[in-house]
Structure 1
Amino acid sequence: MLPVDAVLRKVDESFEESVGRLCELLRIPSVSTDPAYAGEVRRAARWCADRLKAMGFSVTLHDTPGHPILVAHHPGPGPGPAGAETPHVLYYGHYDVQPADPMELWTSPPFEPAIVEAERGRRVVARGAADDKGQTMTFMEAFEAWHAVHGSIPIRATVLLEGEEETGSPSLPRFLKEHAAELQADFCLVTDTNAWDVDTPAITTRLRGLLYLEATVTGPSHDLHSGLFGGAVPNPLNVLTGILGQIHDADGRVRFDGFYEGVRELPDDLLAQIRGLPLDEAQFLGALGLTRSHGEAGRTLLERIWTRPTCDINGVWGGYTGEGSKTVIPAKASCKLSCRLVPGQDPAAVEASVRRFFEERLPADCTVGFRSFSSSPGIEVPTDTPWMQAVRGGLKEATGRDGVLIGGGGSIPIVGWFREHLGLDTILVGFGLDDDRIHSPNEKFELKCLRNGIRSHAAILGRLAAGQAGRG
């Protein structure tokens, strides 16, 4: 019998204890955005520290200008055959959660986890159940099972848990830069994404980057009466909306000059896999109250979300928007724009192109100013590394199903920061579901997903140890 077999059996036998420990953590209202909960955020960090210490990790809670960053190290079992070093993995998670508001929409108290029977079996309902306490506990409980059976975990591991993810991780980039030597590993393993479905795990190999801007068009020196001046002076709202209406062509492609520069077509095998995934498009759209997809012509829905760059208008304002009427030509009008970028695009070059696009379309006596809020490139993770093969093998061993290689339409800045500051690639293995209601009332995590996650991380540990592929 392989060492991992006994560990997987232990995971199954002690699963209710794992659920109980998750509920302990969920009862701590670690809301990072509200200063009133600062003590609770620290209590959650200490809870995680105590669990890791009990499994043989050395743990340090680092104070930051915000909430603590936990770093824990485990030396593993020692050198492998012929003195080879075991692989070294950096695990990342976060113990902070979103506020629970609006409280009246919860079916049970948000920080008193409820175990509920549902169509997929039991689920736990609480704030943080899926994002990210439940998912973080998948690898912590895998450590627990290995430690209980063998007295150690089979590889070298570093755990990095932060308490500011839900506020944009303001302390993390500087911390990574200052502690780069301490955080070196072979690769990062992050569990804060989704599975393909409740039975099928997924590995996210592509993430879109983000360019987020605010543009303000200014015209007259003050608001004007539209009867006295309409038709004779530039109206910043008309100018702005006219420019915004030119961003996309008839085929849904973005018209900023050079926008698609660097965008590569997918390899045929990856494109075939994406197009072959069993997505019920009608069901996907129906849940949104829609009947037809929209976007770049000639691309499937998943291709558009995962692999193609976009530009969306996120808000437009100016003039009078209160109750009743006020016929003014506003002195200025503003909008917010987000461009989701794919690997190969240069955020700085795209931003320069957006600015030129607006400036070239301004009439006389109008100006435009910009505020830049976010800029990060798209990320592509290599799929042919020994680490990826070990992860995929562990997922298959634990769940009986191949892990689907998927993309992500959103942005996860930490992946770029790990590459920039630590020089490490990240493998994103997730067990959440699209309907987990993260950030919303009645957030939940299917207990089947929790069990699959613990088993998967336990099996991945075994595969990594068996491969003996560490760098030292």
Structure 2
Amino acid sequence: MSLDTVLARIDADLDQSLDRLLDLLRIPSISTDPAYKPDCARAADWLVEELTSLGFDASSRPTPGHPMVVAHGGEGEKHLLFYGHYDVQPVDPLELWDRDPFDPEVQDTAKGRVIRARGSADDKGQLMTFVEACRAWKAVHGTLPGKLTIFLEGEEESGSPSLIPFMQDNAAELKADIALICDTGMFEDDTPAIVTMLRGLLGEEITIHGPDKDLHSGMYGGAAINPIRVLTRILGGLHDDQGRVTVPQFYDGVQELPDAIRAQWQALSFDHGKFLGDVGLSQPAGEQDRTPLEMLWSRPTAEINGIWGGYTGQGFKTVLPAQAHAKVSFRLVAGQDPDALRRHFRAWVQDQLPADCTVTFHDHGNSPAGVMSVTAPAFDAARQALTDEWGKPAAFVGCGGSIPIAGYFKTYLGMDAMLIGFGRDDDQIHSPNEKYDLESFHKGIRSWARVLDRLA
């Protein structure tokens, strides 16, 4: 029996596949709110039952937080691990939703039919594309498409506190030839993509301390140091006139983009002007010798995310504040050491303090960047499978955001990850009225069947 038979089965069973997704979407598995802990457990149990029905040896594994779902099944020379997450973001502000976020509905829109519900795109709709591909394969062939492990997390939206310990404790069980992650999107509405570069993330909160109390600006202004002035002077020097970050040793280890990847990116129909124009801007503000796609996907950044101090309420108060605060984040690329960068940044700030000021730092975590080895045969095979399904050449792309799980697979399990997703830019993930296009769900299932046919 051919792949075409599996694809035909997917088409014929789409309504039933959609019904199962809607059932999962009705479970309010919000991981950040302890009130929904029973619902997270219920979602895990629902997935265990579905996977067991497909022939997987599936179980819900307890953690200090929400359960992990682990399932094993099938046979084959190549062992594939699929990762997704069943937890969802909170729904606030609820009044901005057009309907109950956990009462899913298929709606007709000007751009086609969509599945409207919290978690429809992030990540329940995406993970179910893989499950439904396995279901169709099993229905046609009587077996699963190769040796598979499915690993589903329940804390991705709340920082994954249980993930690393669980991976370390179960490394031998989870290790596979390659990990498949479905938590990303298309490059364009009809251009499939495989994310091969993920930026890391480093967060720092800075507090500059000056006088031991707030001071009257008429009595002390000019003579007393103002922590806000110190902080803004330091942060104002974070970039030079060409957009480069000035922290010493910031670019240590940063490598140039391979020519083949640069050429592929340049061939993508990315409209730099529209990208910025859509948010009311016109000029790229980063490194002036880089294209916007390079800035977004393959170059490190430093950004000030918040700054405050003194009096910010209604009216006016002439005060010199005792403290000034800022939050600064760094997006990192392959070759950068987050711990070393934290030390360099703190030393850079310390070196610029005047005599009467001190500084305290509070870290907000860090994760390294990830770069996948696209020369591995699996990447070309998956790229061809996606091209066959969507009718447009699949692209190897970068991701400006950070998806730590891909790096964790490399660090703790020693395996590369392939990030394939079918989300679209207007899915409104993490926002009210989240949706997932029915086409993304349908062709996502078909895409995974093609990828599994080539890989397993």
Classify the TM-score, shorter chain.
Answer: over 0.9
Q: Which residue of 1 aligns with 2:45?
A: 46
**Counterparts of 2:443 and 2:350 in 1: how far apart (Å)?**
53
Distance apart, 1:252 and its partner CA? 0.5
Amino acid at match of 1:457: W
For the pair 1:436 / 2:432, whether they are aligned, the reply is no
Distance apart, 1:400 and its partner CA? 2.5
Q: How many residues align?
A: 456
Q: Which residue of 2 aligns with 1:242?
A: 233
- Output aligned runs, 1:55-454, within 5 Å: 55-76=54-75, 85-454=76-445
**Counterparts of 1:342 and 1:154 in 2: how far apart (Å)?**
35
3-state secondary structure, aligned to 2:150:
strand
Amino acid at match of 1:12: D
**Counterparts of 1:382 and 1:118 in 2: how far apart (Å)?**
39
For the pair 1:22 / 2:21, whether they are aligned, the reply is yes
Percent identity over paired residues: 52
Distance apart, 1:107 and its partner CA? 1.4
- Whether contact under 8 Å (2:74, 2:145) holds in the other structure is no
- Whether contact under 8 Å (1:198, 1:449) holds in the other structure is no
- Whether contact under 8 Å (1:198, 1:433) holds in the other structure is yes
Unaligned runs of 5+ in 1: 77-84, 466-472
CA distances 1:115-143 after superposition (whole Å, capped 9, x unpaired): 11123321111000100000001100100
3-state secondary structure, aligned to 2:419:
strand
CA distances 1:94-115 after superposition (whole Å, capped 9, x unpaired): 0010111111111121111121
CA distances 1:165-194 after superposition (whole Å, capped 9, x unpaired): 100110000000000011011010000001
**Counterparts of 1:49 and 1:350 in 2: how far apart (Å)?**
42
- Whether contact under 8 Å (2:198, 2:333) holds in the other structure is yes
3-state secondary structure, aligned to 1:140:
helix
Amino acid at match of 2:48: A
Q: Which moved more, 1:17-26 or 1:240-249?
A: 17-26
**Counterparts of 1:321 and 1:154 in 2: how far apart (Å)?**
60
Amino acid at match of 1:64: T
Distance apart, 1:289 and its partner CA? 2.4
3-state secondary structure, aligned to 1:182:
helix
Amino acid at match of 1:234: I
State the Cα RMSD in Å. Answer: 1.2
Unaligned runs of 5+ in 2: none
- Whether contact under 8 Å (2:387, 2:394) holds in the other structure is yes
Amino acid at match of 1:18: S
**Counterparts of 1:346 and 1:101 in 2: how far apart (Å)?**
36
**Counterparts of 1:279 and 1:216 in 2: how far apart (Å)?**
40
Q: Which residue of 2 aligns with 1:34?
A: 33
**Counterparts of 1:349 and 1:173 in 2: how far apart (Å)?**
21
Amino acid at match of 2:53: A
**Counterparts of 2:425 and 2:322 in 1: how far apart (Å)?**
43
**Counterparts of 2:31 and 2:150 in 1: how far apart (Å)?**
20
**Counterparts of 1:387 and 1:152 in 2: how far apart (Å)?**
22
Amino acid at match of 1:38: K
CA distances 1:2-28 after superposition (whole Å, capped 9, x unpaired): 531210111111112111111111111
